[in-house]
Structure 1
Amino acid sequence: MPVYNKLVRDLIPQVIENSGSKFTTRTLDLSEHLTEIKKKLYEEVQEFRETMNHQDALEELADILELIHAALPIHEATYEDLEKIRIAKKQKRGGFEEGIYLIEVESE
């Protein structure tokens, strides 16, 4: 029986059960949940880096966004709170749309 020891989507136990397999799960406390979200984010970012087409990239970005949604309540925030912060940072420092790549800065 393979051992996974990782955070999975909420309906995965149902999928496993429907396939006729047996499984073991437990519910994480908030601290563990956040730790596992961070691990899973890293995994999904790595998978995004390895994508070779638009559809796979969008699938991985959707997974990343889902993890962000899962982390927000742990930080007592909503997606709207996050958007306000994102917009304020964008207004102050810009976004990443133009692809500006900083090479070096000469000190005075």
Structure 2
Amino acid sequence: MTVYNKLVRDGILDDIQKSGNEFEFQVLEDGAFEDALHKKLQEEVEEVISAEDNESTLEELSDVLEVVKALADLKGSSLKQLEEMRRNKVEEKGAFKERFYLIDVLDGEEEE
């Protein structure tokens, strides 16, 4: 027996059943579902970071996006609304195209 204790995509249980294996699962309520999505997001981000090629990176980013979509849905929002918020933030503060990496800022109090 392999113990997973993690959120899985909807089709995974069908795949396990088709393989002839038995399994145990539960349907999560909103609070537990949100917690599980947060853990899944961390898992997927770690997989993005450890991906070794472009194809794997893009596949893992698509998994991150699916988790983000599920979190947005849970909060009564959508990817369309998130995209609008993202665009607004880009207009206000910019994106990451310039690749700026801030080292430090001399505060006014430190000046002589």
Bin for the TM-score computed over the shorter chain: over 0.9
SS at 2:103's partner residue?
coil
Deviations along 1:58-79, whole A, 9 cap, x unmatched? 0100000000111112111111
Q: Deviations over 1:38-83 (max 9, x none)?
A: 1000011011101110000001000000001111121111111111
Q: Which runs of 5+ in 2 are unaligned?
A: none
Q: 1: CA distance between counterparts of 2:50 and 2:37? A: 20
- In 2, Cα distance between the equivalents of 1:46 and 1:73? 23
Structure 1 residue aligned with 2:97: 97
Aligned length: 108
Task: Give TM-score, length-normalised by structure 1.
Answer: 0.96
Q: Give structure 1 regions of 4+ aligned residues with deviation exceeding 2 angstroms.
A: none
- Find the aligned partners of 1:24 and 1:96 in 2 and give their Cα distance: 44
CA RMSD of aligned residues (A): 0.8
What is the identity, as a one-letter code, of the residue corresponding to 2:79? Y
Q: What are structure 1's unaligned runs of at least 5 residues?
A: none
What does residue range 13-92 of structure 1 map to in structure 2 within 5 Å? 13-92=13-92
The alpha carbon displacement at 1:30 in A equals: 0.8
| Paired AA for residue 85 in structure 2 | I
Distance 1:46 1:99 in 2: 22
Aligned residue in 2 for 1:11? 11
Partner Cα separation in structure 1 for residue 99 and residue 12 of structure 2: 37
Structure 1 or 2, whichever has the larger Rg, is 2
Matches of 2:14 and 2:91, distance apart in 1: 44
Report the TM-score, using the length of structure 2 for normalisation.
Answer: 0.93
Distance 1:100 1:10 in 2: 40
